[in-house]
């Protein structure tokens, strides 16, 4: 039996993207056991993966500061012995703990995040398609001599209880057979990645005119939930999911959708990892950085028209404030344009299996 230690503490979308890789590592190596150091909130992502143990560090208590990180090293060491450490995060905390393991003669393999390549795109605005984040995870395992390749979606599983709760809710909102189940995730963690509630209202109106659909609203904190509740009132076939269900139940619900329309956000990743057709809307960030919806066609990526803005992409993760009062890149994307793209892609009709 071989035991390895893996780090990925955050962020939500990045942790979700480890799932297809870790699942395949386990499936491809029958003698391998993995301990993943991550946050408790992300545990539902890894449901049903055998030989995987999750470890939740107490970074605000026992494992806080340099002394705390040394205690974290000691606590993790007791779970071993580990033959290798695979750092898929490469932040100061994980590098420090990795350094302690190196001193104990345990090999440590750290992800190459491609910061220079990404910064070059930001600086020059010359778009080059970089390796996807999941491929960078794969490359890190390969460097450690561990066989892995990403299979086909869906990658994320869920409990039978979560499935039953999600199914009961969704079916209770569908008026009759033949209605398309569309997920909407209007928010992201930064303003340059948000298209806006009014745009979603217009898009819902356009879809309702010509198609049978029911919409389910995902994502958002307290402030966003207030806006989502207003969006729910826009039409009687719009229903708020965010804030009402566990993460596991939301994952099960996403899996049952026919289509997800999302920003560059964690829900975009959860939908694509669940094997759901995922339309992603991009503003200040760019899919070329390697964070696009995994396995989705490029035609599913909605972006501002080329050649109009010289400031895009403004940052890798959308954390740089826009130089305009409101993100101009998002103002260039119109609801009618997205609707026309959806029609062209034929994603506003149930999939063949749903027509039977």
- Paired strand residues for 156: none
pLDDT at 236: 97
Helix axes 92-103, 65-79, angle to 10 degrees: 50
Helix residue ranges, H only, the chain = 12-16, 19-28, 65-79, 92-103, 115-124, 133-143, 160-173, 197-210, 222-232, 247-255, 266-273, 328-331, 335-345, 352-355
Helix/strand/coil for 216: strand
pLDDT at 354: 44
Q: What are phi and psi of 328, to 5 degrees?
A: -65, -30
pLDDT in tens, 140-178: 999 999 999 898 999 999 999 999 999 999 999 999 989
Q: What is the pTM of this model?
A: 0.96
pLDDT at 356: 33
pLDDT in tens, 272-319: 999 999 999 999 999 999 999 999 999 999 999 988 888 999 999 999
Taking alpha carbons only, the member of 243, 247, 220, 242 closest to residue 43 is 247
Helix/strand/coil for 3: strand
Domains of the chain: 2-143 (3.40.50.2000), 160-351 (3.40.50.2000)
Name the band, by pLDDT with cuts 50, 70 and 90, for residue 355: very low
pLDDT in tens, 196-221: 999 999 999 999 999 999 999 999 78
pLDDT of 93 > 90? The answer is yes
pLDDT at 106: 98
Mean pLDDT of 61-79: 98
How far apart are the C-alpha atoms of 77 and 75, rounded to whole Å? 5
How far apart are the C-alpha atoms of 133 and 125, rounded to whole Å? 20
pLDDT at 308: 87
Helix residue ranges, H only, 187-327 = 197-210, 222-232, 247-255, 266-273
């Amino acid at each position: 039996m071989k035991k390895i230690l893996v780090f990925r503490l955050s962020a939500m979308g990045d942790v979700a993207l480890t799932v297809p890789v870790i699942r395949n590592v386990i499936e491809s190596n029958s003698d391998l056991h993995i301990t993943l150091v991550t946050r408790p909130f992300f545990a539902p992502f890894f449901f049903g993966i055998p030989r995987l143990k999750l470890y939740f560090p107490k970074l605000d208590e026992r494992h806080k500061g340099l002394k705390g990180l040394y205690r974290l090293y000691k606590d993790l060491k007791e779970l071993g012995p580990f033959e290798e450490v695979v750092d898929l995060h490469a932040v100061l905390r994980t590098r420090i703990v990795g350094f302690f393991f190196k001193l104990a003669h345990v090999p440590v393999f750290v992800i190459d995040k491609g910061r220079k390549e990404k910064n070059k795109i930001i600086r020059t605005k010359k778009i080059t398609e970089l390796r996807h984040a999941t491929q960078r995870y794969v490359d890190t395992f390969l460097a450690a001599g561990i066989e892995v390749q990403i299979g086909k979606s869906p990658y994320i599983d869920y409990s039978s209880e979560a499935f039953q709760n999600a199914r009961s809710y969704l079916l209770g909102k569908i008026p009759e057979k033949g209605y398309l189940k569309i997920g909407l995730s209007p928010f992201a963690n930064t303003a340059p990645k948000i298209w806006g509630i009014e745009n979603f209202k217009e898009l819902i109106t356009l879809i309702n005119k010509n198609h049978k659909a029911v919409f389910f609203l995902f994502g958002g904190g307290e402030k966003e939930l207030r806006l989502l509740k207003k969006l729910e009132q826009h039409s009687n076939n719009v229903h708020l999911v965010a804030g009402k269900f566990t993460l596991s139940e939301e994952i099960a619900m996403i899996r049952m959708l026919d289509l997800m329309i999302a920003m560059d956000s964690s829900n975009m990743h959860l939908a694509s990892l669940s094997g759901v057709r995922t339309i992603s809307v991009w503003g200040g960030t760019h899919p070329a950085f390697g964070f696009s919806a995994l396995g989705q066609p490029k035609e599913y990526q909605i972006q501002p028209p080329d050649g109009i803005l010289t400031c895009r992409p403004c940052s890798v993760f959308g954390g740089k404030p826009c130089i305009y009062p409101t993100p101009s890149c998002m103002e260039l994307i119109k609801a009618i344009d997205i609707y026309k793209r959806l029609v062209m892609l034929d994603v506003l009709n149930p999939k063949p299996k749903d027509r039977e």
